[in-house]
Amino acid sequence: MKYYSLSNPTIKKSFENAVVNGIAPDRGLYFPEEIPPLDTSFFEELPQLSIPEMAYTAMAPFVGDEIPQAVLENILKNTLDFDFPVVSIKDNMGSLELFHGPTLAFKDVGARFMAQCLGYFNSKNAGQVTVLVATSGDTGGAVANGFLGVEGIDVVILYPKGKVSKVQEQQLTTLGQNITALEVEGVFDDCQDMVKTAFLDQEITAKRKLTSANSINVARWLPQMLYYFIAYRQLAHRKEPLVFSVPSGNFGNICAGMIGQNMGLPIDHFIAATNINDAVPAYLETGQYAAVKTTPTISNAMDVGDPSNFVRIQKIYGNNFTQLKDHLSGYRFTDDATREAMREIYHTSSYIADPHGAVGYLGLKDYLEKHPGKYGVFLETAHPVKFLDTVEETLERKVPMPERIQSLLDKEKKSIGIKNYADLKSYLLS
């Protein structure tokens, strides 16, 4: 499998090259040359397969022979060694819980898969690699945990000051070892722009081998499609068309699900549920894409005004607006609506949702009211404790604190403050 730049299709690289370099030389995102269909018999047998067996069949075409079968099977087994339950919320709706991994967030899958792939590739080559990543919340902690102690790899994480939760900040600023956190005066889009600029800065790349662990990296992005295979594995007995509502920020998660759909996974429709940072819902209404100024919200991991992965979504559907709208609906919700949804979910089903899951619930609720007869799943992307103040204040009740989070909160935060790209460049060259 080759990967080409969406900005210049003549630039084609191997899976290894795309993973190690993160972004194409022209700053374009890498995209697979083909989306290989899976045999219908695979989907018929899927409920009987183990999760690692299922995951290998789905991922192997995108990796090819660049990682030996036994190594890839082991990577996937280690990546997916926790639960992904679909919890019933209503007769026509469930929550896919993606927060049972080590950092209590859905980013654990992509971060762990990428860390192990990069570790394998780096073991064949001498030299140090710097993973440079921007985070709006959960990516930083998942990447830090996934790469902690990996030989030959340094991790530099940029995060917006004052715009991540306390738990999220502790997860990316307290590990030490090969992990460094840079606290940026700005918003997530500023962090992401700095990362992209650094990749093209020859003064930096002459001194450091850079790669990214954001969902712009194919090894962080593609394994997220496994969530949808895992959910279908649990729901294959249902006869209704299956709909997924995805809390969306940088749009890597929902984009990966669309890859699975194009491989044959029986998904009827996708819903992109956002907060007021609504570039994609606005596009679906007007047909004109325009980045929006990022506004902080209580669902901070979705505070993205110019989602990088939307260009991949457009490519999946042939840059055809009509075809895209047949497969994707978009909804945006305010903080007040999000809080009300958290209360509604709790009072009707005793289920505690975090703000991001609540946004997904709202999108699904609106869609199902207009499209009865379908079964919907909203993604619960983070444990409620990661947004403890918001959840407890909204629900007026205490949320049990996992022991590993309590011990994390007692650790000393260590970060380096930066104001602009010049500060980042100075750090990387020092």
Query: Is position 107 annotated as part of the catalytic site?
Result: yes
List phi, psi (to 5°) of 289: -90, 135
Distance (Å, whole) CA 221 – CA 218: 5
Distance (Å, whole) CA 159 – CA 339: 25
Distance (Å, whole) CA 110 – CA 309: 15
For residue 151, what are its two tokens? 């030989």
Of the candidates 77, 90, 107, 124, the residue annotated as catalytic is: 107
Please report how the helices 69-79 and 51-63 are oriented relative to each other, as an axis angle in degrees rounded to 10. Answer: 130
Among residues 318, 313, 274, 267, the alpha carbon closest in space to that of 292 is found at 274
Among residues 393, 390, 182, 427, the alpha carbon closest in space to that of 301 is found at 390
Among residues 113, 191, 100, the alpha carbon closest in space to that of 150 is found at 113
H-type alpha helices, 174-302: 188-199, 202-205, 218-221, 226-235, 252-262, 279-286
Q: What SS3 state is found at 202?
A: helix
Please report how the helices 226-235 and 252-262 are oriented relative to each other, as an axis angle in degrees rounded to 10. Answer: 60
For residue 404, what are its two tokens? 């590993």
Question: What amino acid positions are annotated as catalytic residues?
Answer: 107
